[in-house]
Amino acid sequence: MIDRVSTDEDCSRETEILLSHLRLKRKIGYGGFGYVYEGTYRGTKVAVKKMHSNRRNRMLVLESLRAELFVVRMNLSHPNIVRTLGTTSSGPEVDDLPFLVMEFAGRRNLQCVINNTEEEIISPCRRTKYAAQVCRALEYTHSKGIVHLDVKPANVIVDDSDTCKLGDFGCAQRLGDSGNEFTASPSITGTTVYRAPELLRGFCPQTSADIYSVGVLCWTLLTREVPYGAENLQVITWGVVMLNLRPDSHNLAREDQGEAEYQELYKDCWEAEPTSRPTASEFLERLQNIAP
């Protein structure tokens, strides 16, 4: 049997959802620790995250769930963040973890948009819009003392109005009283190719780690390629940490001033020194000044 997670401790009664009011339909996504389903809650369409654990990943799954429950407690409300409505006290089976119930923001994520090269055109205007919306979400979460730590296209939902919403806070951490250090250091590591070098070294994360990830995301929006291609993750980690390796930008054309400024901006985001990266607010200000 898996360890129980107390929703009385981790989530207030106001956000507890009764299983009897919840209906699961089709599976619409998956991640490292479970699946996301389309469902209904009291007649309203919702997305439901159902986590799965086994003996090998049990502690990581519980850690991820606690991070999500912490965010539920924070009651985040922002147009560019997937809103979590609440959690069940448990799953329907004796060993099930609680279900996370979220607003239904859509069935496609930003990675799907990037991959769909035949039907989706990502113009400079659309690209900067996506980048701005993701960074507005981070500006808000950082102001609330939360760092996401797994910013990547697959964790950004694109709704029917072509608006980006940042989701999946399973790696999130809370800022400490000092404002730039965390009160805990979870074992969950996020996604290597989007992860800042100081995190790969095992150092304590700061909000600037999310900005690094935004830089790689912006590169991906421009190139529509996988960062570092099919290279081995150990080689990537060594290169990023020891050789200042970054996704290849050498052959990218700079067709106009706006394109050049966009590239300079995302390169500043992935500076090796965290303090040299722009803040979310500074990123947005510079992005606003880039010609469409």
Q: 150, 159, 162, 177: which is the annotated catalytic residue?
A: 150
Name the residue among 47, 52, 56 with its Cα closest to residue 83: 47
User: Is 96 designated active site?
Assistant: no
Task: Establish whether 165 is an annotated binding residue.
Answer: no
> Cα(33)–Cα(53) distance, rounded to whole angstroms?
7
Q: Which long-range contacts (CB under 8 A, 24 or more apart) does 254-257 make?
A: 256/291, 257/291
Radius of gyration of the chain (CA): 19
> Cα(134)–Cα(227) distance, rounded to whole angstroms?
18
> Cα(152)–Cα(189) distance, rounded to whole angstroms?
13
Sequence-distant (6+) residues with CB within 8 A of 248 are none
Alpha helices in the chain (DSSP H): 7-10, 58-74, 110-115, 124-143, 197-200, 208-223, 233-242, 257-269, 280-288
- What's the DSSP call for residue 3? P
Backbone angles phi, psi at 29, to 5 degrees: -170, 170
What amino acid positions are annotated as catalytic residues?
Answer: 150
Give the residue numbers of the binding site for ATP: 50
